[in-house]
Structure formats: C-alpha cells, structure tokens
C-alpha cells in the first residue's frame, strides 16, 4: 500500500525505514498545536491550481460495487500520549473495500488513515501507516464506529442492508460524508472546515471562513478585527468590549455605551385610541370621560442627541361655539414628570364643527438611551363646555 510516514521507522542494516522520498513527501515541521505536546491532526490543504481548499485524501466511488477510491494526499495524525504527531503521505490513488451489507439493517463504516506504532501501542504489533475501513455495527439507526487511537477519519460511508456487488453495491453519490478537516503549521491561517466547527488550538490563532478572518480568543472564533469597527454578529457578545462597539441583535443595530446595549437607531414611539370622549377640566388632566382606555401612552427610547419630535392630534369639537379644547402631552421618565403639558405644545379646536387637528413640537435635554413616556393630556376653556376628542394619537420620533 502506498502509505508512508516519516519519523515512524528508522532505517537499519536489516530493516527498511524512512527514505529520502518519505522525508520529502511527508509534511514535516511544527503543526498547529492543541496542547503543549500535541498537534491538530488533519489533511494538508491544497489542490491543483489552487482551485479547492483541499483535494488530498478525498474518498469517492465511481462504479457500482463495494470499493471506493482515496485520492493521494498528505496529513498529520496525532498519536497516543507522548508519541507525538506522525506526518503521513498517500502517494497513489488507492482502493479500499467494504464488506457486504447486513441482511436486515444498514451500517456506517469509517475510512481512516491510521498509524500503528509498536513502541507506544504496547501490543507488540506492527509499526506502519495504513489506509483502513473501520466497520460499523448494523442497526435500524446506525451510528459510526469508535475511532481508533492514532487514526484520522477521512469519510463515513453508509452501507445499505443487503448491499453487495451483485445487488449494485453502495450508492456512492449519496453514501459518502466527507470528514476531512484541514491543518496547517503553527502560525498559519487555518482554513475553516466545511462540515464541522473545529476549536482553536491557542489564543491568537487565525482562520479564514471564506467570508471573513477570525481570531480564536480562547473560547470562540471572533471576527477580526472587531476593535476597528466590525459589527459583532447576533449572539456573539453578551457584553460589549469597548464603548462605541456595535452588534446585530435580531436585525436591529445596537451600540454599547459602556454599561448596556442601546439601540443605535431608536424607533418611533406610537399610541392611539379610536374611541371618543370629552373633557370639561380647565386644568390639564390625563383622562377623558365617556370612553374606553381614556389615557394613551407612547413609550420611546431617547436617541444619542437627547432630542425627540412629538406629534399629537385628534378629531374633535366643542359644545359651545367660540370655546376651545386642547390636547397636549406630559413627558415622564420612570413615572416622574419631566416636561409638562402646555398650550404652546398642544393641538386645539375652537368650533362646534368636527375638525382634525395636530401639532408637532421638539423636546430636548432628555437622557440618551433612557426610556420615557409621552402621556396624553387634555384641557377645556370652560367647565360649561365639553371638549370632544376622537381618533387621538401620539407619535414620538428621534432627532438624530
């Protein structure tokens, strides 16, 4: 079998061992670590003309039957304990065979590149690098077999019940699931595996996801460089890392103010009531009589400018011609009155005929990022004249 490994068998007068070709072909050097004495096993990336992430050690089948082909390639396999990492190379296209399927149930087999080292295995067996098929157990819902020590999984293959050469063999177009992951030398940028998320080996390691460069921070892969204005994706940050950082939260952009996440662009506040009522109070009150839900309240978050535009209006009239009825708003924070209703900030009617009126005014000096409420307030020119209000609304827009 054309599988070779460097640093596995020493050449002696009577035994063959590592040749010059083995040394040239095998991937040598310090690979990306997973610990003080261990390396990240995987396939060395690369393809002809740089077309693909990696073409080496790809497992595929082309014709009906029970045999697959493994493409030449190079890999690193982490051994047991202090055995270290073994550089391995497959120099030729190589076939591997699968046993016939169970009569009743399917199974999953693994194609692996494996190193046996009698010095560390402790069983007095062979010392060699091999390409093997690890047979799974037939079940109604089969699972892959356990991976042996010092073995690198290349693919898992679903072997249907009753599969054999005579029945058409394995459905190669759908049976093979690629398990290869790439590995690079320490300090190299790791290509992201397409079928599973591989954790980093050390703080400061980088990987390329094909969309962005990421850095391993000891816990997760983080988009790099976040500190120069990158927007953190949803779920990546519970707390900001610096004041002014942005994150995507459910499609809404948020900004970290040093303590909490605030909306980067605040939404408008809105409240309305389509049921009519009347007011006879000559001082500002927050309720009208004879209606359901007399008070309307629009909650809003103050933008960084500390200013908002408040628009309010209603369809109304007075019971007595020449008298007036006004609607304004009280601005409150945590229930405390901040800006009181005022005739200069009100919509007014002064006729017995029903008319629609509205008014817009600016409120400044509010606390950026805080939540306020605009509460409807009403006033009539005389207790003897009912001011009627219908289709009432309040809208609060941020001033950016």
DSSP 316-350: EEESSTT--EEEEEEEEETTEEEE---GGG-EEE-
* N- to C-terminal Cα separation, the chain: 71
Check residue 250 and give its pLDDT. Answer: 86
Angle at the Cα of 212 (from 211 to 218), degrees rounded to 5? Answer: 130
Whether pTM > 0.75 for this model: the answer is: no
Per-residue pLDDT, 124: 67
Q: How far is CA 361 from CA 59, 330, 355, 369, 399, in A?
A: 71, 12, 20, 20, 12
Q: What is the pLDDT of residue 146?
A: 96
Condensed to tens digits (0 to 9), the pLDDT of residues 149-175 reads: 999 999 999 999 999 999 999 999 999
Residue 66 is predicted with a pLDDT of: 96
Which pLDDT value is given to residue 222? 78
The pLDDT score that the predictor gives to residue 91 is: 93
Strand runs (DSSP E) across 51-104, as ranges? 59-60, 67-70, 73-78, 85-90, 94-97
pLDDT of residue 384: 93
pLDDT at 383: 95
H or E stretch at 120? helix 118-121
pLDDT along the chain (400 residues), means of 10: 74 63 76 86 89 91 92 92 87 95 97 90 80 96 94 96 93 94 90 75 87 84 65 81 85 86 86 94 95 88 93 96 96 96 96 96 93 97 95 95
| pLDDT one-digit tens code per residue, 286-321 | 999 998 777 899 999 998 899 999 999 999 999 999
User: 223 vs 85, 129, 186, 212, 317, CA distance in Å?
Assistant: 30, 38, 20, 7, 60
Q: Where do the domains of the chain lie, and which CATH numbers do they carry? A: 3-178 (no CATH), 230-264 (no CATH), 269-398 (2.60.120.1340)
Half-sphere exposure of 30 (CA within 13 A, CB side): 8
* Residue at token pair 């190079």: 74
Largest separation between any pair of C-alpha atoms in the chain: 121
């Amino acid at each position: 079998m054309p599988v070779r490994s460097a640093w596995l068998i020493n050449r002696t007068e009577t035994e063959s061992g590592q040749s010059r070709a083995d040394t040239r072909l095998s991937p040598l050097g310090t690979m990306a670590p997973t610990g003080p004495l261990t390396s990240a096993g995987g396939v060395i990336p690369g393809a002809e003309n740089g077309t693909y992430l990696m073409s080496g050690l790809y497992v595929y089948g082309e014709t009906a039957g029970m045999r697959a082909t493994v493409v030449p390639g190079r890999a690193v396999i982490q051994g047991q304990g202090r055995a270290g990492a073994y550089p391995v190379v497959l120099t030729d296209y190589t076939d591997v065979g699968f046993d016939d399927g169970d009569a009743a149930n399917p199974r999953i087999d693994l194609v692996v590149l494996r190193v046996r080292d009698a010095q560390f295995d402790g069983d007095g067996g062979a010392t060699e690098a091999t390409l093997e098929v690890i047979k799974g157990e037939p079940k109604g819902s089969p699972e892959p077999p356990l991976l042996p020590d010092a073995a690198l999984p290349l693919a898992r293959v679903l072997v249907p019940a009753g599969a054999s050469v005579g029945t058409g063999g394995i459905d190669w177009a759908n049976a093979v699931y690629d398990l290869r992951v790439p590995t690079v030398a320490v300090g190299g940028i790791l290509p992201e595996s397409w079928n599973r998320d591989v954790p980093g080996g050390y703080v400061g390691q980088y990987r390329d996801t094909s969309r962005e460069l990421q850095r391993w921070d000891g816990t997760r892969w983080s988009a790099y460089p976040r500190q120069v204005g990158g927007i953190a994706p949803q779920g990546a940050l519970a707390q900001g890392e610096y004041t002014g950082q942005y994150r995507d939260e459910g499609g809404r952009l948020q900004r970290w103010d040093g303590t909490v996440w605030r909306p980067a662009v605040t939404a408008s506040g809105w409240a309305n009531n389509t049921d009519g009522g009347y007011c006879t109070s000559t001082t500002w009150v927050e309720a009208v009589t004879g209606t359901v839900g007399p008070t309307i309240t629009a909650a809003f978050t103050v933008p960084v400018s500390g200013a908002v535009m408040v628009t309010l209006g209603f369809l109304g009239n007075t019971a007595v011609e020449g008298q007036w009825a006004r609607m304004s708003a009280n601005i409150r924070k945590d229930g405390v009155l901040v800006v009181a209703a005022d005739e200069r900030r009100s919509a007014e009617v002064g006729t017995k005929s029903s008319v629609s009126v509205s008014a817009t005014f600016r409120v400044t000096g509010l606390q950026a990022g805080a939540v306020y409420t605009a509460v409807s307030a009403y006033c009539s020119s005389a207790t003897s004249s009912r001011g009627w209000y219908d289709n009432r609304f309040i809208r609060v827009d941020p001033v950016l």
